[in-house]
């Protein structure tokens, strides 16, 4: 009703609880790497805006001018895949990944530390295994059977090397998460007291 809403204000209405996009309510980045990722993700996030713009462009070109583009759908898939992949490390940096806290909340702080260490080890197993597999896939996508450098392409008329780029991004995201998880594990072993406000995605 009120047009005098502060521009860019977070809704203006009184809220029963802070929303997760309010930084104050989030788990602060734990390590220097997390902070760097958190910063970098502010730029990466604009890819979703670009995908929207080019999709609208495709719709207009096709419907109004009967000349569909050859590149929008593939580019959109590529940009959105990048959003999905890089969103992994970004969410990890800001501690936004969802977990089940039933046991965690029930045990005393001392046991929580051991749960943190256990989770760190399990997460490391996952990211390490995935990074290895991603490396194998990226190698296949960037080399022909003779072992020469040759990027896998999409095989369409436009034929961009997006498959190879996406596989490179998968490798990058997983390797980054592996380093993040190692740093978190070190943090948990050193047993700094956990900040009580760490509500994040939990």
Partner 1 sequence: PEARAQAKYNWTFQTSETAGEPQYKIKQDWAKNVEAMSGGRIKIEILPTGAVVPHNQTLDAVGSGILQGHLTDPSYFSGKNPAFGMMGNLVGAWGDPMEFLEYMKFGGGEAIYNKLVEPYGLHLIGAMATGLESFPSKKPIRSVADMKGLKVRAPEGMVYDIFAKAGAAPVNLPGSEVYTALEKGVIDAADYTVFATNHTMGLHKFAPYPSYPGFHSLPMVDVSINKQIWDGLPADLKAILKTSVDALAYQAISRLKALDLQAANEARKDPNIHIIDLPAEERAKFRNIARQEWEKWAEKNAITKEFYGSVTDFLKGRGLM
Partner 2 sequence: MGGLGLSAIGIEGGTWLLIGGIFLLLVTGLPLAFVTGLVALALTFGWFGPNALPLVISRVYGFITEYSLVAVPMFVFMASLLDRSGIARDLFNAMRIFAGRLPGGVAVQTLVVAFLMATMSGIIGGEIVLLGLLALPQMLRLGYDRDISIGVVCAGGSLGTMIPPSIVLIIYGLIASVSIADLFVAAFTPGAILMGAYVAYVLGRCLMNPELGPPLSKEEAGGFKEKVAALKGVVFPVLIAGLVLGSIYGGVASVTEAAAMGVFGVLLAIIVRGEFSFRLMQESVQQTLDTCGMIIWIGIGAAIIVGVYNLMGGNRFVSSTILGLDASPTVIILVMMAIFLVLGCILDWIGIAMLCLPIFVPIVKQLGYDPVWFGILFCVSMQVSYLSPPFGPAAFYLKGVAPPDITLRHIFMALLPFIAIQIAVLMLLLFVPEISLWPLR
Which residue among 23, 68, 115, 186 contacts partner 1 (CB under 8 A)?
68
Question: Binding pattern to partner 1, positions 108-147, x when CB under 8 A?
Answer: ----------------------------xx--x---xxx-
74 sits near partner 1 (criterion: CB under 8 A):
yes
DSSP per residue, 1-65: --TTPPTT-S-SS--SS--TTSGGGSPPP-SHHHHHHHHHHHHHTTHHHHHHHHHHHHHHHHHHH
Q: How far is the CB of 70 from partner 1 (least distance, A)?
A: 6
Given 31, 47, 54, 73, the residue binding partner 1 (CB under 8 A): 73
Beta bridge partners of 149: 143
Closest separation between CB of residue 122 and partner 1, Å?
A: 25
Closest CB to partner 1 among residues 107, 136: 136
Burial class (CB in 10 A: 0-12, 13-18, 19+), 78: buried
When the beta carbons of 5 and 156 are compared against partner 1, the nearer one is 156
Q: How far is the CB of 92 from partner 2 (least distance, A)?
A: 8
Cβ distance to partner 1 smaller for residue 163 or 200: 163
With CB under 5 to 8 Å by kind, the binding choice for 39 among partner 1, partner 2, none is none
Neighbours of 165 (CB within 10 A): 17
What would the DSSP string read from start to end of 92-131? HHTT------HHHHHS-HHHHHHHHHHHHHHHHHHHHHHH
Bridge partner residues of 143 (DSSP): 149
Binding site for partner 1 (CB under 8 A): 62, 66-68, 70-71, 73-74, 77, 136-137, 140, 144-146, 152-159, 163
């Amino acid at each position: 009703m009120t047009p005098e809403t502060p521009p860019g204000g977070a809704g203006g209405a009184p809220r029963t609880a802070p929303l997760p996009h309010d930084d104050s309510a989030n788990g602060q980045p734990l390590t220097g790497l997390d902070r760097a990722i958190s910063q970098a993700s502010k730029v990466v996030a604009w890819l979703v805006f670009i995908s929207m713009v080019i999709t609208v462009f495709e719709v207009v070109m096709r419907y109004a001018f009967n000349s569909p583009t050859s590149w929008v759908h593939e580019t959109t898939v590529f940009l959105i895949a990048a959003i999905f992949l890089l969103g992994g490390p970004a969410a990890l940096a800001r501690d936004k990944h969802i977990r089940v806290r039933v046991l965690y909340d029930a045990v005393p702080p001392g046991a929580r530390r051991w749960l943190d260490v256990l989770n760190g080890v399990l997460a490391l197993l996952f990211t390490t295994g995935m990074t290895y597999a991603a490396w194998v896939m990226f190698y296949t996508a960037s080399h022909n059977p003779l072992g020469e450098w040759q990027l896998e392409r999409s095989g369409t008329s436009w034929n961009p090397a997006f498959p190879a780029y996406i596989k490179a991004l998968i490798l990058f995201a997983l390797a980054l998460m592996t380093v993040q998880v190692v740093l978190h594990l070190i943090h948990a072993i050193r047993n700094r007291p956990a900040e009580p406000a760490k509500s994040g995605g939990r």
